[in-house]
Chain A
Amino acid sequence: MSTAGVWGIIAALGVLTYLTRFVFIGIVGDRPLPPWLLRHLRYTGVAVLPGLVAPLVVWPEATGGTPDAARLLAAAVALGVGAWRRDVILAVVAGGLVMAGFSLL
């Protein structure tokens, strides 16, 4: 791909991604949102992030798409520790330690 082509991708993706972030806070601003919409928006994080990572955990590219015990266990530990201790950093460290432990084996 040409240099200009790559810059075109970066610019287009940059502008469009900015618009996804700006569309509500920037354009809707402080007009009140209906309660039914707010009820749905409360679940934004839990609706998006688990689905984003699920295929990466179950079919990791690094193993050619074959499920891998280390990644599955590390994922379960990160999720479990995060839910239990309510601490994102602790969750990352716990999951990372499981991965590190497996790579030492």
Chain B
Amino acid sequence: MQAVPSVFRSPFRKGLAAGFPFIVIIVPFGALFGVLAAEIGLPIAQIMGFSVLVIAGASQFTAVQLMADGVPAVVVVLSALAVNLRMVMYSAAMVPHLGSAPLWQRAIVSYLLVDQTYAISAEVFEEEPAWSVADKVAFFAGVAVPVFPGWVGATWAGAVLGAQVPEGWQLDFAMPLAFLALVGPMLKTRAHVAAAFVSVVAALLFAWVPWNLGLIIAACLALLTGAEVERRS
């Protein structure tokens, strides 16, 4: 801790410092969404509507893809929602840390609970058991300060500049890369590795299940695996 500059010692500033580098991930990911949404002909207001009101990249891609395929609206919503059911688990995982914060703070945290803010916070909260609930909320807010505007701004830039992205950039890989990079540091124990392995295998085996529900099946099997390996070791 001594190496950390004093300005970064408050939980909010620690959150800022932890969240800021994520611009590197969020910007290509958000830009990619803006580009794809503009390509299928959505007006800028609706593209921004997605990124501001839904703020869940993977589900936004799913929705835009299905809309382009002419799938009925109800199916678009349910299928994209299935991708977001993981947020229920993130929400539950935050209960021991943030559950006793004031309701208005929990309402805002819910709005900003995305993969990156969840992953950074969950890890740091485990490492800082002495932090009060207020400290944890402050840290979470710090993380969200660069991440949220980065997402919204990149969406806008992608939508406006879309056609100028060079072909060879393979921007499509921005999304898998953004998530894969989060996974590596999570592989802390045998139980974590086992859960991740089951998640991959099951997601591939159940990829045929409609409405992205294969992912939910895979996630449940992986949760059971992680918990069981932990119980036995």
Contacts and interface: CB of A to CB of B under 8 A. Distances in A.
A14 B113 contact: no
A44 B122 CA distance: 10
B74 to A, nearest CB: 9
Mostly, the A contact residues are helix
B63 A71 contact: no
B22 interface: yes
A12 interface: yes
Interface in A60-87: 60-62, 70-71, 74-75, 78-84, 86-87
B172 A9 contact: no
A81 B76 CA distance: 36
Interface string B179-198: 11111111100011101111
Nearest to A92: B181
Contact of B67 (A1, A22, A31, A95): A1
A21 to B, nearest CB: 4
Contacts of A18: 110-111
A52 B209 CA distance: 14
Interface string A33-62: 100111111111111111111111111111
B184 A78 contact: yes
Interface residues of B, number: 94
A37 B110 contact: no
Contacts of B113: 21, 25
Contact of A92 (B118, B172, B178, B197): B178
A80 B230 CA distance: 23
B149 interface: no
A1 B96 contact: no
Given A41-B93, A47-B222, A96-B177, A5 B73 contact: yes
B119 interface: yes
A8 B73 contact: yes
Contacts of A89: 21-22, 24-25, 181
Nearest to B18: A88
A51 B88 contact: no
Contacts of B215: 48, 51-52
A54 B200 contact: yes
Given A6-B46, A17-B81, A24 B59 contact: no
Given A13-B80, A26-B103, A39-B227, A48 B25 contact: no
Interface string B52-84: 011110110001000100100100110011011
13 contacts: A9-B77, A16-B84, A22-B91, A25-B106, A25-B109, A26-B103, A46-B187, A49-B115, A51-B218, A53-B183, A60-B173, A78-B180, A91-B185
